[in-house]
Every structure is written in structure tokens, then in C-alpha cells.
Structure 1
Amino acid sequence: MTYPIADLHCDLLSFLAAVPGADAFSKDQIPCAFPWLQEGEVKMQVMAIFTNVDQSSMKMAGMQAEIFYDLLRKEEKTVAMFDSDFLKNHTSDDRIGIIASVENAAGFGHEKATWPEIYKQFDRMLATVGQLAYISLTHHTENRFGGGNYTEGIGLKEDGKRLLDYMVGKKIPIDLSHTSDLLAEGILNHIDRHNLHIPIIASHSNFRALWDNKRNLTDEFAQEVIKRGGIIGVNFLREFLDQNVPERLFEHILHGNKMCEDAICFGADFFYTQNFPEESRQPLYFPLAENAGKYPSILESLSKTLSESHLKKLAFENVFNFYRNLWS
């Protein structure tokens, strides 16, 4: 069973920036290599600009933005910019539509950066990549903007409020996938208090009701994303599904589909695994979802439970509709 696939998160850019000899076309190196994406019928792929919280964050983010720019020009037979024009013409274009995102706003400003430097970095990166699919203020840890998903009791900081204010009018969603619960609450409260027009998504998150992990959304936050017209991308990592039961992936998808069939989509979170430091988490993916070539078989398994219209929404329509509405 094949449908076009839209996926809200992979880490191909940080792989190309940081790994010696990295090859975007090598199926042996990374599970979101272009041949895997093609095999899985992926039509739209978000590529995250990921950085750690350190002094090199702005440099690394800028480098990944340039890599994205170069992919569009050097690999134009394989990829095209995912934008309004691509959405209009995607049925007649065999290429993969790609768009960048920012995973960790430390890429806009390290801890000692001034606000003029942050604004300049933001504007330069946006000009380089053309558009951003979303911005995550944090990753796992704390930064100047707020608390990451593994930091208890740290919410939205003053710098986080200032960055949200700067996003207004740019049609860039804010992503709740890597927030602490207190940061997610702070983001929603700040947006509501000041009536900011900033869309809310969760790009690559599962459901805490099914698997108790801080990276997963509570149903309360999932409902907030849904209420605000956002989308939720299901993550394929074992750590956030269930350590031992592969089929739990389908349960997370069905849980999201039951909440709102117009919001659930894919956010696989494929990245370079060969230098991953935590042995206990290996293998990082179950075989049924270990690379981007697995989408057709995943949909085939779900076809026993979901109707064709629901499968199409999950596969690509919810993502395409979200960005079509956002950019209209």
C-alpha cells in the first residue's frame, strides 16, 4: 500500500555537518538517506537544524542552513523546496519536497550572544533556507530560552518570550516536542496573553498516556495542539514508543487518530546512530520502523484498522493541509 508520505522530522543536516564522510545517498549510513526516502514514497521531509547548547551552536546552525541551501541546488534532480508552489504541483513532480526547521533555538543564539546578534542570525538563517517548518525553543536540556524536556521545573524564560514575539507574522509554528511541561505551558500562556498569531505543533512526539516518558505529550497538551489547529507527528524511536513491543507504534498512531484524525501524522526522527553513546538504547528503532523505506508496510499494517481516508490523512494530507492553510 503506497501513498505519498510527509514526515515532520529527520536529522540529515546535522549528520552532513558533523560526520566525516557523510553521504546523503548512503543507505548504510543513515535511515533517512535519499534512497530510503524514495523507497518509502516520501514526498515531503522536514530537515532539522540541530545544535547543542554551547559556544559553537550559532556556527553549527549556520553551517546546516548552508548545507540545506546547497542540497536544493546541487541535488535538484532529487529534491525541491517544499513551499506553496510545490504543494500546488506535487502530483507532477517526482522530487522530494524538503524544508528546514530549527531544533533548539541555541542555534539562533548561544548563552552569551547579544540580541542584535540573535536577530541577525535568525534573519540570515531564514533567508538562507527560505522558510522554516517550525522552531523548537529547546532540546533535552535547558538553554537561555527555557527548559528542555528532561529539565524539571524550568519554564519559559524572558529570552524565550522575546523570541516568540519575534516570530509573530513570520508564519513559523512553535514546536512543543522538546519542551518541559512548564515550558509548553509558558509558551501557550504567553501566546494567549498577548494574542500572538503563532501556530502550535508537536513535530515528533508520542503520547505519555501510552508510554510514560518526558519526551511524550500529555493528552492535555496534545488536545491544546489539536484545539489550535496544529499537527502531531508520531516518533519512531523505541525509547518513546515502548522498549519491547514494536506494535506499540500502531497504538500511538491510533491514539492520536482517535483524538483527531485531522491532526495525526509522521515525525519519525531518523538520525545517524553509529556513534550513539547510550548502549542501553540500541537498537534505536524496531525493525518494522527502522528506516524511511518502511512507510508502505507501516500503512499496510494500519489498513486493517484505519479507513483509506484516515490513512491518506495520516500519510500526507494532514501535513499538506496544515502548511497550505498556514501559507495561504
Structure 2
Amino acid sequence: MGTNKQYKGYKAYEYLEAGVDYRSFELCDGDKIFPEYLIPLKEEQEERLARLARDTICISIHEHPVLFPKNLMRDVFEFNREGRQSCAYEELSRSYWDCVFDNLMDGTCTIHSKAGWKWSEVLHDLGIRLCDLAQQDFIIRCERVEDIYRAHKEGKIALVPVIEGAAPIENELDRIDILYGFGVRVLGITYSESNQLGSGLKEDKDGGLTAFGHKAVERMNKVGMAIDCSHVGIETTKDVIAHSTKPIFMSHVGAKALWDSKRLTPDDVLKACAEKGGVIGIEAAPHTTITKDNTTHTIYSYMEHFEYVKDLVGIDHVAFGPDTLYGDHVGLHHAFAAHLSTKSTQGNTNEFEEVEYVKGIENPTEGSKNILRYLVKAGYSDEDIQKVMGGNVLRLLKEVWV
């Protein structure tokens, strides 16, 4: 039932009066899909695509499924300080996703501060978004694996709240329990910069998982919270994989062998993650998953990373975490370059072409459609498509979530 979404028209925060109860902004047009960037299929392939989109449980393990301001460079700083991002309900209803891991405001969570990542800001962001979810009946707040199956069956979308980095917990292990109690089911170890748990990927020196980090990993294992190492230093990631009793996510990464940047992952780390049962999601944020042979970021360079990682670790350990949003993603990276560590992690910027948008995988709606179209055109079997579109993630969650 993945393509028969039961969306009834709810818009974010419509239970309040815009301009009276909160400051409103003109938001972007939503899920622009350019037909020329949809991967072409033959008639019989289109029929197979329709069947797979209907019957397959499709999960994105990393997105920001919200609408950003139409005039992003003018409004985004005030928009973020308002602390009221708008879930793109209608746009998501046109996607193939049955479950979306929502990473909230991540590195741009500057509601009360300049640098972000404060405990009060994270809870503010999470609470506002969950309050909005409670007003509608299309998005299911996902806390158990059963919620994903239910969403697919009922034509709804299961939304998993995620915090990308653990800096807000500071040195308080019980804050992991608090986040779990508030619905967070995935927590990143670091977000590029080092914190109490370990080293981030932007650092020149990686000291590995700290003593507190070891305790935090143990607590996440005990409470049933999945661990993510997408923005984590290499040595720290290896330590997490070794110390965790449960498989982990690398929810939005790519292969460093295809493009030399700190943001992408070396082969030995990808293998280590898979060997412990982990799942690797392929990243599509602007100028990440490009390759030496294709320096323009498109759906095709993105899927090169998928093919490489799949061949390296096996099809049972690969999934999709496109890390897309609705709005000017490149502009957002420019505006928050320091917070998002884009300049210090994406490699030699003189060696690739900056794009206005990533053609064919610019937002969650377009990405869901083109990824499946690629897999159909490439001749993947139904079984393998079901694995990478959601089955591999479900297997990991059944081991990790309680």
C-alpha cells in the first residue's frame, strides 16, 4: 500500500493561527520533480515499478522532511530561531517512503544560541515537532518495528525522530533515557566535531571512543536506541562497532574510495560495520556522493556509491539515507557552512562542479521515486530490491529496538 497514501490535507501547525500564535514565513514550493531527471523506463518496467512501489516497504534512514523558506538566504536564520520547522505532509504523501528517519534541526539547531546543540534547544525542537504530529492522523510517530508495518498497511508514513549527534547529552548518561522517553530511536555519536563521547570526522586527530563514550554505547544498547556513526571519526567509529553489542547504522555516508573527502567512509570501516550486522545508508546531500568519474552530483553519481558499497559489503548491508529536504539545500549549506562542517569535510572544492541542486534526488519525494526506478532499470530482483529499500533496515531494528 506504499503508493496509496491516506493523506487528508493537514498542514503543519494548522491548529494554531499563523502570525498570531507564531511567526510565519513564506515556505518553498515543495517537491519539485523535473520529468527530465526521472530515470526513463520501458512500459513493462513501469508496470513492475508500480507493483514494487505498492508492495515494498520503503524506508529512508536519513532525511529532513520539512519545508524551508522560499527565500532561504534572507529568512533561514530567523526561521531557525523560531524553532518551528514544518513537516512536509503533502509532499511526503507523494513519495514512496513508508518510513522516514527525521533528523530534525541537527547541526542548525540554533534556537537559543549561536553554536547550537544545546540540550534545551534539542528538546524545544523535538517537542514542537511532536506536538504538531499529535494534531494529525497521517504520520505515525514510530517507536516500534510494528509501527512501520502498520504505516505500510494503512497507507501512512512512520516517522522516526533522530538526533544526529550526542553533544547535547554532555556527560549525563540518563539523558539517553530521556531522549528515548521522548521518542528518539536513533542517536549519532558525534556530529563532525568531537564531544564527550569521541572524535568527529572533521578533526585532524581521532582519539577514539572515550571512557564516557563506552558507557554511552552500553546505555544505548540497553535502552534499545540505535547508534549512528555517519559524522564520526574513523577510529571512533571502529571503537563503536567493536564495543556495541548490537549492529549500528552508518545512515548517510558514501565510499571514500570513489571520492576523497572526510565526509565519506574508507573500505575497512564499511566492512567492519557490515561484519557486525550493520546497515550502511547512501548519502545524497549536495557535493557528497560524487565520484572521480562523475564530478557532477546527480542520481547517477549517487547510485555509483550504492553499487560500490553493495559490491564491497554485500546487498544485505546496504540501504538509503539520502539526507534530502524540501527547499534550497545548497543554499542551506552555504548559510550554515560552519555548523554543518561542509567546507572542512567535502574534499578539494576545486575538483568538482558546484550544482544548484542534485539532479534526480533533490528532495525526499523525488529521491524515493528515482532510487526505485534505478533499481528496476538495473534489473535487480524483487528480493534484492525489497532488501535495500527497507528489509535490511527492518532486520537491524528488530535486533536493536525493544
> TM-score scaled by structure 1?
0.82
Give the paired residue count: 307
Matched, 1:292 2:340: no
The equivalent position to 2:374 in structure 1, one of 301, 317, 322, is: 301
Contact 1:105–1:136 under 8 Å retained in 2: yes
The one-letter code sitting in structure 2 at the alignment partner of 1:158 is: A
Residue 184 in structure 1 maps to residue 237 in structure 2:
yes
For residues 297 and 171 of structure 1, the distance between their equivalents in structure 2, rounded to whole angstroms, comes to 33
Q: 1:121 to 1:54 in 2, by over 3 A?
A: farther
Q: Which runs of 5+ in 2 are unaligned?
A: 1-48, 70-78, 338-342, 344-348
Q: Could you tell me which amino acid in structure 2 is paired with residue 297 of structure 1?
A: N
Match of 2:12 in 1: none
Is 49-58 or 156-165 further displaced after alignment?
Answer: 49-58
Letter in 2 for 1:209: A
Q: Say yes or no: does 1:167 pair with 2:223.
A: no
Q: Which runs of 5+ in 1 are unaligned?
A: 26-32, 110-114
Q: Match of 1:249, SS?
A: helix
Distance 1:285 1:226, change over 3 A: farther
1:71 and 1:79 in contact (8 A); partners too: no
Q: Aligned-pair distance for 1:58?
A: 0.7
TM-score by length of 2: 0.68
Letter in 2 for 1:312: Q
Report the CA distance shift for 1:252/1:135 in structure 2 as closer, same or farther (over 3 A). same
Q: 1:98 aligns with which of 146, 159, 183?
A: 159
* Separation in 1, partners of 2:116, 2:375: 45
Q: 1:73 to 1:282 in 2, by over 3 A?
A: farther
Cα distance change of structure 1 residues 238 and 91 upon mapping to structure 2, 3 Å threshold: closer
1:139 aligns with 2:191: yes
Letter of the structure 2 residue corresponding to residue 293 of structure 1: T
Q: Deviations over 1:107-127 (max 9, x none)?
A: 212xxxxx4xx2343322221
Using a 3 Å threshold, how does the CA distance of structure 1 residues 250 and 200 change in structure 2: closer, same or farther?
same
1:270 equivalent in structure 2: 324
1:152 maps to 2:214: no
CA–CA distance in 2 between the matches of 1:224 and 1:56? Answer: 29
Tell me which moved more, 222-231 or 35-44. Answer: 35-44
- The 5 A counterparts of 1:195-214 are 196-214=244-262
1:296: Cα distance to partner?
1.8
**Structure 2 CA distance for partners of 1:185 and 1:92, relative to 1, 3 Å:** closer
1-side partners of 2:120 and 2:356: how far apart? 28
Alignment of 1:1-328 (within 5 A): 1=49, 2=53, 3-12=56-65, 18=80, 20=82, 24=86, 33-49=88-104, 50-51=106-107, 54=115, 57-109=118-170, 115=171, 118-129=172-183, 131-132=184-185, 134-154=186-206, 155-189=208-242, 191=243, 196-242=244-290, 243-246=295-298, 247-258=300-311, 259-271=313-325, 273=329, 274-277=331-334, 283=355, 285-294=357-366, 295-305=368-378, 306-327=380-401
Distance 1:84 1:55, change over 3 A: closer
Moved more, 16-25 or 214-223: 16-25
Question: CA distance change for structure 1 residues 40 and 202 in 2, over 3 Å: closer, same or farther?
Answer: same
Change in CA separation of 1:289 and 1:95 when aligned onto 2, cut-off 3 Å: same
- Aligned to 2:360, what secondary structure does the other structure show? helix
Q: After the TM superposition, which of the residue ranges 203-212 and 269-278 deviates more from structure 2?
A: 269-278
Q: Do the aligned residues in 1 keep the contact of 2:163 with 2:187 (CA within 8 Å)?
A: yes
> Does the aligned pair in 1 maintain the 2:117–2:167 contact within 8 Å?
no
Superimposed CA distance per residue, residues 137-171 of structure 1 (whole angstroms, 9 cap, x where no aligned partner):
11121222221111122222233223223223122
Give me the CA root mean square deviation.
Answer: 2.9
- Structure 1: distance between partners of 2:163 and 2:62: 10
Q: 1:82 to 1:93 in 2, by over 3 A?
A: farther
Alpha-carbon deviation of 1:97? 0.3
> After the TM superposition, which parts of structure 1 deviate over 4 Å for at least 4 consecutive aligned residues?
12-17, 19-23, 51-56, 278-282
